[in-house]
Every structure is written in structure tokens, then in C-alpha cells.
Structure 1
Amino acid sequence: MRHHLLDLEQSFKEALSDLSITKNHALYIDGIDYRPEQINYREYIECIKGLGEAVWQLNTDFFSGIRDSKGRIKICLLVRPDVLNSLNLYNSNSRIQDNSILLDWSTTDDEHKDAKIYELCDKFLSSQQNSKRLTGASWEHYFNTPKEPSKVFKHLIKTTFHKPRDFLTFVKIARDLEINNGKGSNDTFSENIISAPQLSKKFSEYLLGEVRNYAAFYMTQEDFTKYIKFFQFLDGKQRFSAAQFSAAFKAFKEWAGGEDFNAPMYLKDEETLLQLFYDVNVIGYREITELGNNFFHWAYRERTLNNIAPRVKFGAELFLNPGIAKALDVGSQLKAIDQKSDRAPFQGRRKKHRNYHGKGSPQKSK
């Protein structure tokens, strides 16, 4: 088998060496961070680790040595930072520093109008207009809140993972809701759109779905459903201390003892489970300086090329992502958990813009 593979590799390299291209070409490989459930996590890690090493060898040793070709070939892996970190590649730190680009869309309330995510969202809405407009004009027109400028965008900063898909999905859900409410002929959204219960519920379910997809690399869907039952044991709290988290973990682990987990490693201790929820951006933490300044920490904000796997601070004040809280039915005091049951007792006017109904409606971005 090894002999045949070497022959195949040699034939493949000879074919590439014979290419004479006039322009540079980049081959992007996507979908690496999707792990089919039928493939064991460790086995899959070894597979994509081999892929990563092969790409590195081709880019650094083989493609650079091809003669008589003006153009060059480069292979680029499109992979999540946490997955790349899991591969534990040889000399990974320098490889990441010198050969990677980290897409960071995060911003803050004070800086949001200078952020790329704001520019992207505005272009999404302005692309249907007949004339070119200043950045922000279209977004602020459609989501016009005179009493609280940028109210909607600041709300999304606090409730999303700062991915373009999050913002554009919000626009789509809001548009559908307005049309269903008979406001499709309007050219602005309702000022109180972010307070609409239907929108909050649908958008929260979307965000939880994003978390589920993110976690699918590490665990099955069944395991994910079991792990998020943990939040039932926080008794409806959205902000909690490390001690309260530990108490909830103790009760959760007692319940989990009667369940089968394919990925039981997160039941090791409370800090391991907390790190999981921090990694998938369900839980963040706050630090207060001596001067009284608040610093809110989320994994997607803390991640850099120098800190590709940020760690949660266990002793700080912890809080649940407000965008996901509704999908978890968190926010009100819940009845006590029945330890004998695995069921969860959840009861407890400017220049005229085209309108967003029909031909001029915002379209889904690819």
C-alpha cells in the first residue's frame, strides 16, 4: 500500500511540474472543521493533521521549486482557529504567525462606525440603491432610531458573535417579521424591532444553532443537547459567580451520572465545562478595574494569532450570552430540577430609499 501511495504522489508531482501557468493560483480547501459524526474525533484530528502537514510540505518545498512557470500555486486551508490549535502541528506558533490570516470582525460600541462589520452591513443594504451613499447612511435609514442613535447595531454587538452571517440573518428575520405584520411597503423598520418577542425568539434559536454547529466538531448532537441542560441548574440566572457555577455543576454532574455521553471529558470538573462554554461563546466574564472600568471578555474577542486558544478566568463574574438566553429559556426563576427525571421543567424623511418588500428587498449575501 505504501509503495502505491508513493507512486501516486510521484505521478501527481510530475503532472504539476509540467504545468506552465502565467498567473498565480490559490487553491482553497474548506469544510475541514466539519467532522462527520461517524468518524471518531481522534481519528479525524489525525486525518486533518496529515492534510495540514502535506499542504505545508507542498507549499514550502515543492511548489516553490517548480521551474519554467511564471505563475505559482499555493494551497490555503480554511479552518477555524480552535480546530487549527487542536492539530498541534510541529512548530505551529511560527507557522501561524508567518503563514496565517485571522479574520476578526469584532468591535465595540464606541468604535463600531469605523469597524469593517458596520461597513459590510451598510453595503449589504446600500447595494440595492441607485446612488452611492456615505457609509452608514443606508443602515441608519433602515434602522432609524433618533432617540438612541445606532441602537439596533449596538444591540447586535452585545448579542451576536460578530460574524457577518449573524448581522445579515438578523436583517432577514426582521424583514420577514415586518412583512408578516403588514409593513412590507415601509422603507424603514419599526423603531422597537429589537423588542419584538418573535424576532428575539427566532434570532436566539439561530444563535444557539450556530453554537451547536461549532460544538459538533467535538461532540454529537445528542451530547450537546445534554450539556446545555446544565443551564437549568442555574435557576434562571444570567449573571453568576464562580461559586454559583460550581454549585450548578455539582447538581448537573449528579444528573449526568445517569446519562450516556460520547464526549464525557467535559464532565471532569467545573473549570473544564466552563472552558467549553467559553470556547463556544455561550458564557463570557467581566473584570472590574480599581477605577471602576468594566472589561467584558468573550473568546471571539480575545482570540488573536498570539493567543489562538484564550482561557476563561474562573474567579471572575460570569454571564450568559444575552442573545442565546431566550433559546435556553433562561431569564426567570425556574422550578427545582427533578433529579429522578431527565426532563427539564421549563416553565417556570430623507432621500427616498427603496422599500424592503419585493424587488428592492435586501437579498441574502453569499
Structure 2
Amino acid sequence: MLRKFGKVFKKSQRLASFSSEKPPKEASLITCPSQLRPYAHKIWSDVREFVNEECIPLEPKFLAHEFSENRWNVVPEMEELKAKAKSAGLWNLFVPFNIDEDLQFGRGLTNLEYAFMAEEMGRCLIGSEPFNCSPPDTGNMEVLIKYGTEEQKSEWLEPLLDGKIRSCFGMTEIAVASSDATNIESSITSCGDDYVLNGRKWWTSMSLHPNCELCIFMGKTDFSGRLGPGRIHHCMRLIGNCERSIELMKDRLRSRVAFGKKLSEQGVWKERVGLSRVETDQARLMTLLAAHKMDTVGAKVAAKEIAMIKIIAPNVAQTVVDRAIQAHGAAGMSSDFPLATFMTWARSLRLADGPDEVHVNSLAKLEMKN
């Protein structure tokens, strides 16, 4: 078990008891946790242990809550998990060193290093929130770190970093195809000391959470900035979805007999397990490469790899999770297992994280330039 559970730090003490370490200036691409520098490997190991021993055992409770009339109330156990993770220093791990070189907000991890942590979080339905690494909060915090005024940081960033509030992200509009950002009709105009927001949004992620107090609102204005590394966090977590699905699939195949022999001994299932391993590892390696390039050459130069992984990861997750569901039969569609939720999430990300068609088109344009 993790050792450091108990107290919750005040704002100024958020990570005061935990030393942070800057990554080396010359970073190499790494492909497995054993290659992490000792500092990052210890965090990864603690995250993995926390997910296995603290989060996964609570999945049935959170799944039941999701389908109850109280689904928009905060589950008390979540606040307990957050307190434990914070006290163990497993907090705000998503903040990349390249936007936090003074280590004010995170633990000094690179995007590449965080990819391994995010994969572990993705193995569980509730894996990100206990570490204060949930979307859309992570992306919204990145925006505030990069572009927020000191007043905005004090009012919104600090409570978000402390996990005291949640936030939402308003992009999708009901009247237009929002996959093309130039279609957005909402406007943001200056009016004296204020701004006037005019538009209609729907599918505003996390807006119904009882602790939601901030909305990052997408609209037309004379200011623009590039989205941060949160753009590939979903892909990182999807690899974790795949790994957990493979684990559950293998356990099921070993325990079920059909037509005189175990499913694990039947050729069709050997093929499906083998393909799932190949596809998951391919998706992981592409995700790691994208993260590495974001660290070393920036998101703009890494646009090609980012587009590729946004195509690959959700499609691979859909395929692998579908095989796991098939192995479980009717149980795979029930709330007794996380598989149906994994499937819904993978499918929704092919829209929420940008449609496949947009990413393929962007990739083709970049390819044709070479």
C-alpha cells in the first residue's frame, strides 16, 4: 500500500512536502517505464499502485452511482481518494515542464513521462480524477497557466490546482458543424472593462458537475493561442483502456469452456488476443513518439504525429474493447465490468477529440507538403 495517506495540504502547501526534479535538458525517446529516470519511475510506480489498490476496487460503486438518480452528486469516496493522492504527492502530474519550468504547478514531468502515468490512470474508469488530472480541467488549467492574468490565476487556477472546483469547456454549437472551428458562431467582444459572450453551446463537458465554477468558452475574437499537451492526454488514457480490456479478456477466456475446451485454447480467440497486443503496442509507441516530439520540438512541429495518434488511439481502443466485450458475452455489456463504458468513451472521442475525417485531412495536407 502507498504510505503517505492522511493529511490534505493547504493551498500554499500543495506539494510542499515533496521535492520536484527538473528533467534532463537532452531527452531521449523512451518506450517502457523501466527507462524512466528514477524520479519519474517512482511517481509512475506509485500511480500504478494507487490505481490498482485504491481506484479499481471502487469501480463497482462508481458505476452504480453513474446510473442512479444521484449521478450529479459528488461521490464521497472520490474526495477521499483525492485527499490520499494529494497527500502522497500524486497530484497535478499532467502539468508539463515546458510550461512550468519553475515548478510552480506540477511535479516537473515531461509529456513523454506523463504518458506512462496517464496510461495507468486509463486502466480504471475513475483513474484520472483522484490525481486532479481529469479533462477538461487539465486543458483549462494549461490555458490559465499560459495565458491567464495573475488575478485570473488567483481566482480560478489556484482552486483548480487544489481540486476544490471543477471547470467545463464550451466549444460545440448546436447550429453548426463544430468539427470545423471556423464555423463557430459564438462571439466574444470587448465592452469597456468587460467582454460580451454571445452564442449557444451544447455538449459542454462537465457543466453539470456540482463543483463546476469556470467555463472556458470558445468564440471568435482577435486573440488566439495553440492548445496545449492536453490534446493527447485522451490518447494516453485510451492505451490504459486497451491494457485493462486485454487483462479482463484473458481472465475470461481462461475461465470459460465452450464446445469441450477453454475459450483460451480456441484458435479464433488466440488470434484476437494476439492482434490486440499488436495493435495496443503500436498505438502506445505512436503516442509516446507524439509526446516526445511535443517535448523536444513543440506541438506545432509535432502536428503530424498528434493527428496520427488521434486517428489511431480511439479506433484501436474500439477494436480491442469490442473483442473483450465479445469474450464476456452479455456480461461485457453490463455495469459489472468497465468495458461498456470504455467502448462508449472510445467511440465518443472520435467526435469529442476531433472527428477522424478532420485529423486524416490535416495529416494528408501535412504529408503532401513533403
Q: TM-score range by the shorter chain?
A: under 0.3
Scaled by the length of structure 1, the TM-score of the pair is 0.27
Scaled by the length of structure 2, the TM-score of the pair is 0.27
Higher helix share: 2
Greater Cα radius of gyration, structure 1 or 2: 1
